Amino acid sequence: MPVRLVVALMLTVPIASGSAAAGLPDFPAGRAWEFLNAQCAFGPRIPGTDAHAKCLVLLEKSLRDAGGDVSLHRFRTKTDASRDSIAMTNLTARFGPPGAPVILGAHWDSRPWADQDPDSSKHATPILGANDGGSGVAVLLTLAEIMKSNPPPIPVEIALFDAEDQGRARNPDGFLLGSREYAGRLLSRPRAVVVLDMVGGQDLHICREGYSEQASGWLNDILFSRARELRLTGFEDRVGYSVLDDHYPFLERGIPAADLIDMDYRQWHTIGDVPRACSPESLGQAGRLLIDVLYGGSLE
């Protein structure tokens, strides 16, 4: 996740814990937890590394095993961490009937520098990215398995973006490389985009993201009203930080997009972004919300 920007304040609406509506598929949080740990087992997933290449194999196999119509979108570009261009890969998987899809996105790379670590001697150390990258991917891989046996009533595309977190703070153009590439290649307009980033932290606080609120407030209305109805305590119905994240290239093209992100995560861009800073329960909250909006008719 890149640089956090403007803070906007509104009243917090308290929400209590709860489960998905009756008749909808269950979301197995334990399975998402397995996917989070499987990604982290490779080490930091920095483009050009062995860990990155091994993780790509896992992602492609998982999406194909789930029965999705899988495509790999390869491109090359330089990053702030590389002198030469590096091979990158975005992955997509289509589910459900034909038509304009709801795109569910997450980034699968991890950051080359722990530049927010309280110990300055660690600032050049790559981060594991359990939450920052790994959590959103874990939720979406689990959702793909659910859609194999429970086809969604609307078209859905899972998009796993490469190279979101390869930029330096002084260079905003060094971020979002995969989602910019993906959005620039779109041949048709999706109905909406929902990005998941840092949705697995133990003390979950997901608020309305500022840019998506300005451009796609109706989409945030759907997501946060459903979270409130489901009593998902990790979702706070207020505007928090405005964040340049993988939803932003879609907003620039006039496509409705929302970013579900926890910018209160204390281990952001530190070496502490490891599985023990995350929880299956938080992954489950994000997953239950997606199940509800996809299968419950909110986005039809």
Q: What is the DSSP string of 233-251?
A: TTEEEEE-EEE--TTHHHH
pLDDT at residue number 12: 29
Any idea what DSSP says for residue 275?
A: G
Name the residue ranges covered by the structural domains of the chain. 4-295
Are 225 and 159 in contact by the 8 Å Cβ rule? The answer is: no
Could you tell me the pLDDT band of residue 4, with boundaries at 50, 70 and 90? very low
**pLDDT tens digits, one per residue of 23-80:** 899 999 999 999 999 999 999 999 999 999 999 999 999 999 999 999 999 999 999 9
Q: Assign 8 a pLDDT band (cuts: 50, 70, 90).
A: very low
Q: Which CATH architecture is the domain 4-295 placed in?
A: 3-Layer(aba) Sandwich (3.40)
22 versus 85: which is more confidently predicted? Answer: 85
The per-residue DSSP string of 82-124 comes to -SS-EEEEEEEEEESSSSSPEEEEEE----S--TT-SSGGGTT
